[in-house]
Structure 1
Amino acid sequence: MQHDLRLRAAAREIYDACYPGEEWSPVSFEEAEHFGTVHYRQAVGAAQRARAVLVDREEQPELFA
């Protein structure tokens, strides 16, 4: 992800939102990225899936009532 700065930024936002403190993840985003922790991989996967949804103009997710 070194070359995709927008995807990295999205992954960082997701990581920080999902793992807000040490009780959720004992390491910072940078450390998680360096070591490839499960928390980091989950945040990257979420960012990739979000990008796919946001880029696809024809896909409109259903809103829950």
Structure 2
Amino acid sequence: MWHDTRLRASARAIYDACYPTEELAPVGFEQAEKYGTIHYRRAVQAALDSRREWTGEQAIQLNLI
């Protein structure tokens, strides 16, 4: 995800908000990204879902169907 800096920043913000301590996530964002942990994948999915909501991509898809 290094090529999409806005998506990466969103995922990092979500990751840091949801997993602020080592009790909730065993590693920080950088390592989670490197190893593709479940915590990282969930943060990325939340960022993608959020982007769809903000940009209205879902509404466009519904109009095409």
Give the TM-score, by structure 2 length.
Answer: 0.85
Q: Give 2:2's aligned residue.
A: 2
Which has the larger share of helix? 2
Describe how 1:10-49 pairs up with structure 2 within 5 A. Answer: 10-49=10-49
Cα distance between partner residues in 2 of 1:32 and 1:10: 15
Q: CA deviation at 1:26?
A: 1.2
Cα distance between partner residues in 1 of 2:36 and 2:57: 32
Give the TM-score, by structure 1 length.
Answer: 0.85
Identity %: 58
Which structure 2 segments of 5+ residues have no match? 60-65
Q: CA RMSD in A?
A: 1.6
Work out whether residues 16 and 29 of structure 2, in 8 Å CA contact, stay in contact via their aligned partners in 1: yes
Cα distance between partner residues in 2 of 1:36 and 1:57: 26
Counterpart code for 1:27: V
User: Once superposed, which parts of structure 1, at least 4 consecutive aligned residues long, lie more than 4 Å away?
Assistant: none
**In structure 2, do the counterparts of structure 1 residues 57 and 35 end up closer, same or farther at CA, with 3 Å as the change threshold?**
closer
Q: CA deviation at 1:16?
A: 0.2
* Total equivalences in the alignment: 59
